[in-house]
Amino acid sequence: MTLLTVAGLHVRSPEGRDLVSDVSFTLDAGERLGLIGESGSGKSMTALAIMGLTPPGMTVSGSVVFDAPGLDRSLDRGLDRIEVVGAGERRLTSLRGRATSTVFQEPLTALDPLMRVGRQVAEPLRRRRGLRGRALRAAVTAALEEVRLADPERIARAYPHEISGGQRQRVAIAMAIACDPALLIADEPTTALDVTVQADVLALLDGLVEERGMALLFISHDLAVVSRIAERVIVLKDGAAVESGSAGEVVNAPRHPYTRDLVGSARRLDGALDGALDGAVDWRTP
């Protein structure tokens, strides 16, 4: 079943510069897709357009359609299909959390610095699942335990600056999956972490996506990281898709010169992730 269809997506800056140009792809329920490219390639802007979160002044055209039963419950219509491009904020709010949710690169800025961690995890659980009181507190603890945070009660009482970067990212993941979204968008989720913590967070995401049967859109500039967790890869350059294929195809037989450069860079840095690239090529291979 196709969950997400992106067709002819364009995003233009207020100055008239094309940031995303004619990007098209589909993502099936439970599938893992990686978007890879250097800074400014359009990968994060593509993710923001999918969520309906492009900054003010941006012009978005094309089509972004989510197709899953009962998405628009807040409007009491039980719609199966929602077109994101051109949708009003009320419609988009009904989409976020239920159909899709995002883990951003820097959890310290994604989390509210003035609110305890437990309250931040509680908010989507309260809003989407209607939990209150003891049931809500138990759900918060369970959510923190699911992302492998030791002493979840202490973490829940802490403010974001009182826990480590890796712990903050785990909290952000707990918030993102709290409403069981059909699609999880992970936008450079390990870039701000050291190498050891990166590996732990990748393993956590891998396990959660597998256990919950979520689709995953994983965004990174690092081919070794993307190919470790994604089945299929799209390479973006200057806002346009220049190559796509299975992770193994793109790594072993890149066609575009830009992709070949990315593969070469990933192999030179392979040791930093303890053989991540070679392990990724064999991922899910019988």
Residues 251-268 have pLDDT tens digits of 889 999 999 988 887 766
**pTM metric for this prediction:** 0.87
User: What is the model's pLDDT at position 95?
Assistant: 82
- Output the DSSP codes for 115-171: S-HHHHHHHHHHHHH---HHHHHHHHHHHHHHTT-SSHHHHHHS-GGGS-HHHHHHH
Q: Other CB atoms closer than 10 Å to residue 79's CB: what's the count?
A: 18
pLDDT in tens, 51-93: 999 999 999 999 999 986 655 554 444 456 889 999 988 888 8
Q: Which amino acid is at 136?
A: L
Determine phi and psi for 3, rounding to 5 degrees.
-90, -40
CA–CA dist 247, 276 (Å, integer): 13
Residue 49's pLDDT band, with cuts at 50, 70 and 90, is very high
CATH level 3 topology of 2-99+183-281? Rossmann fold (3.40.50)
- Assign 174 to helix, strand or coil: helix
Q: Other CB atoms closer than 10 Å to residue 17's CB: what's the count?
A: 9
Average confidence score pLDDT of the chain: 86
List of residues 6+ apart from 145 with CB closer than 8 A = 152
CATH 3.40.50.300 residue ranges of the chain are 2-99+183-281
Residue 276 pLDDT greater than 50, yes or no:
no
Residue 281's pLDDT band, with cuts at 50, 70 and 90, is very low
Q: Which residues pair with 83 in a beta bridge?
A: 65
